[in-house]
Chain A
């Protein structure tokens, strides 16, 4: 591992960042803009800017992207989540705000254009890639390689389309990258510090507040921040017992975890109730009762009358939805997220079945019913772009055998533990191991929340973040293997010590 100067490091980071901005801009715009079509719920964020999508009434919005938004006055409940009028909260609004700032200078039509969101997204992906170079351990070449492997996930056809869409995914995906950066920064010196803890908190909050389903990250992030004791905490209550000391030395991290949990709880309370209502209906009638020979018994276990079995595979707005019948108030009262969680605990076969659907959804990697191109692109309706498809290619293995996803997650977790325990590695290298341990926890908790909240409905799209993290897991696992196989040389006690940094960066000051 060759040492390198600080100037070389910064220069490489900057070059990598700029290069990835270019890569992202090219993959989004070269040959015509691509994005991801929406399903009618795209306006819930953009309408808050007083704009409406400029498209013909009969536009096939599932099949084509319509990027331009024009000024429009929304009255009453017309601007809100699912027509409920309830405000849809997401940190994506900040990304949109930035996009609006550059919309004019870019010379784009209308009052807002999702192509400007694409430009903002490309810049942030570049920034993240540059930051990864700074916090990843090892030689510059390895840092650039790993950083580019992460950048390639953003550029993959499964995720890049979100950057030119009205969805909230860009904020969540970028937040997720920022969270990975913040965690590596937190761990790379072997001790936690207030600034780094607060950075993790900020990144986690930004990510969770992008999409309600990411509230699951509270658990893995809490584990991540309390993993290492606080810097200088060896002097805190030195004569207390082991447990008290362990807790005391992590007091700042525990406070950060509490703040994260509290903020997430508050955010959850602000979310539109209509979304939860629709999701619960989908879980019961779209998942639990789907192709279910024991539907009557399961309904009884849920506290519902057996005749509701006839509504299997309906959604809340179906013509034969029970939401339109006198049975619905009872359903609404009896079935809650807690009821569904208890049902799955008491019915492991159902839990296993929904887990299987979840795996199939992740193995699909990307939705095939939403188009990538604008109507004037010359592409057929619903055509999907495949300009960059590295991970999509690798995903062929999972499409063939979805169960291998579990193997990858378990493997990554074990590799991470081995790396953390390996005494021959520096703290910065151990940080990669810690990330490898936390990533599967993020995956499983996220998958659990999605399956509990959405079931098999649109499993692929709802598990975008599980897919994203699984894609990140591939280079992460490769790096862990490298450390375990190649880095056998013992490091000096000084190098292993918390606070030591073999390759100084801004972050080590």
Chain B
């Protein structure tokens, strides 16, 4: 039996950086130049770091989250991911972890992600210099999905931005966090950028998440989707948001490192809650139609190509109150008006064979020239069939279009489909 480990193929390059990868490949210098020029330079630095990860990650270079011992104790299988040693699955296994999250609640360690506070005179207005989203009107206690764009309209990273009164709180991807921080420091010169290093980040996702967290933080049940709050608890000061990346109702909870283990154990002690690894996190987010940075979106994809224009509010578009003024605005605003040549779509393969990332897509079983390719693909445990997403030329992006994917040299039929593959169940 010969096999290719998909974690390396599908997950690791997705948001990968190691310390050694940076140093070996001049990433540190690259980041210094990012401070002054940003944009395209940043994208190069970020890409180098990702390749560095894929090429040179060794066990020794990997960082650990403060919950490492707990993962070991729970019997997790650990893999390198974005420069960290992270649990890819626990003894329950990917399929059951996925289904448990959908039927009860799953606890994810996402402490590798970057937590950043931005303070300043008007941090929302400042941040609009580097994101195409409208942040100024974001109400206190609310959170919004956003992205950092490059000078040529690509996506440097996607992130969450929360208004916490006198400052903004950001959560960014692990693989790009160093570059993101450099980018912010270079461009938000009137803001103070504080990187939070003394907090873990946990996600509690699933229909029982409210009941489970409600036992520890009773009023958390009153929060609505994308609400954020800060609260004292038996586990120190918790930073809560009602959000996640699974398509389920749930919370993301920032907890002081000193209390993170006790907090995680308190949740895991509840019947509804199981620990969930990166494997199920990937199939959950894909069923929910959500992009994985590094797979489905990166510096070569614009927000319009990525079908993320819903995240760009009217105020920042052509004719809006604060039109443009972000990196890549000319290209992105033009694409918002006129469309792009290609588009990210959902794809449902016929039959049971998953179409993995890299699968080339054709208009027929015979066509020579591909019209697109798959960027994420897996088996969907809840929809009980394989699912993919990828990019196709816009004239083949209509829902219902039948295409063919090259799977191990055979052309397999696949249909362009609406996403999410499984409707979200968040609490509006």
A and B together in one complex: no
On A, residues with C-beta under 8 Å from B are: none
Residues of B within 8 A of A (CB): none
